[in-house]
Amino acid sequence: MRGFPENSVSACITDPPYNYEFIGHKWNAAEIDRRISRVKNSKTLVKNIPYGSGLAGGVRDARWYERVRQNILDYEQWCYEWATEVFRVCKEGAIVAAFNSTRTMAHLQVALERAGFYARDCMVYRRASGIPKGLNLQAKLKQRGIENHENWEGWHSCLRNEWEAIVVVQKPLVNNYVETLLKNGVGLFHTINEDGSFQSNIIENIPRDSDEQENVHCTVKPLALMEKLVQIFVPGSEEQVVLDPFSGSGTTLLAAKRSGCSYVGIEIVPEYVEIARKRLSDSPPQIAEARRSNFNAVPYTPSLWLEESD
């Protein structure tokens, strides 16, 4: 992003790595494959998430909590570093919508605010289903032969996880919404749905994509979900540029293309870059004429960048 021009991006819609303990350590395809392979034939219910964080288990002593806290601080700092560059390249009024887990969404928001953005909302993406996880107290007590273990039926160490956060922040306006819109063509939300209802900050009932055998990315978001976000935050026009600095297999970029916007993406895994390029080349744009914008902006050539990791 350091080579991108300032004030040139209309929105950043992205799904950065969540804080699964190895952020900045071994976030690469080989490590993800290794961790996923460990649970494919196990009883673990969640088999598509890079699993096995050293922070997930162990004795909850003082050292354990210190490690957890330091990990959170490191993650927040890492988010701040890339958010600083996102802030620089965004136009005034540009929206950043970034996915995160329910545990670390606050730290991502703080990092974005430190970079210069201000908070607008926290949207909820409610998935089609949630899977109970965590410790089943009754089962553990029964294993230990504890009497009256049945009295603890229904007690677990966490709730069923069926939603993900979308942190929504905005680069400061040019005085007000109208002046910002007239200058940059962005800054507001498209709030009327196809059925005439007003858009909620809870997004649900999103259909799952059909499986793409060539797409080996482990945490692909539904295309319909990313199209929804593009349509809310970006007027459909080739002059408007959607940035995804964590492009993965290119779902956000594909959503931008299908919505009539330009796009630019960054990805460090060559395998994912090739998948994204194929998906983009195979899909024609589908522009909703009613959403096209006539505002001028700095032109971008739609592209996907491969940024080598250290």
pLDDT digits (tens, 9 = 90+) for 76-125: 999 999 999 999 999 999 999 999 988 899 999 999 999 999 999 999 99
The predicted structure's pLDDT at residue 310: 35
The predicted structure's pLDDT at residue 22: 44
Q: What is the mean pLDDT of residues 234-238?
A: 90
The string of DSSP codes covering the chain is -TTSPTT-EEEEEE-PPP--S-TTTS-SHHHHHHHHHTTTTSS-S--SS----TTSSS--SHHHHHHHHHHHHHHHHHHHHHHHHHHHHEEEEEEEEEEE-TTTHHHHHHHHHHTT-EEEEEEEEEEEEEE--S-BHHHHHHHTT-TTGGGGTT-BSS--EEEEEEEEEEPPPSSSHHHHHHHHS-SS---B-TTSPBPPSEE--PPPPPP-TT---TTPPPHHHHHHHHHHHS-B-TTSEEEESS-TTSHHHHHHHHTT-EEEEEES-HHHHHHHHHHHHH------GGGB----------EEEE----
pTM confidence score = 0.81
- pLDDT tens profile 16-41: 988 754 444 455 556 556 655 665 56
The predicted structure's pLDDT at residue 64: 85
Contact 280, 303 (CB under 8 A): no
Domains for the chain: give ranges and CATH numbers: 9-124+166-306 (3.40.50.150)
More confident residue, 4 or 25: 4
% of residues, the chain, pLDDT over 70: 74
Q: Would you say residue 74 has pLDDT above 80?
A: yes
Q: What is the mean pLDDT of residues 127-152?
A: 86
Q: Name the strands in the sheet holding 118-131, side by side, starting at the edge strand that comes first in the sequence.
A: 202-203, 118-131, 161-170, 90-100, 9-14, 241-244, 262-267, 303-306
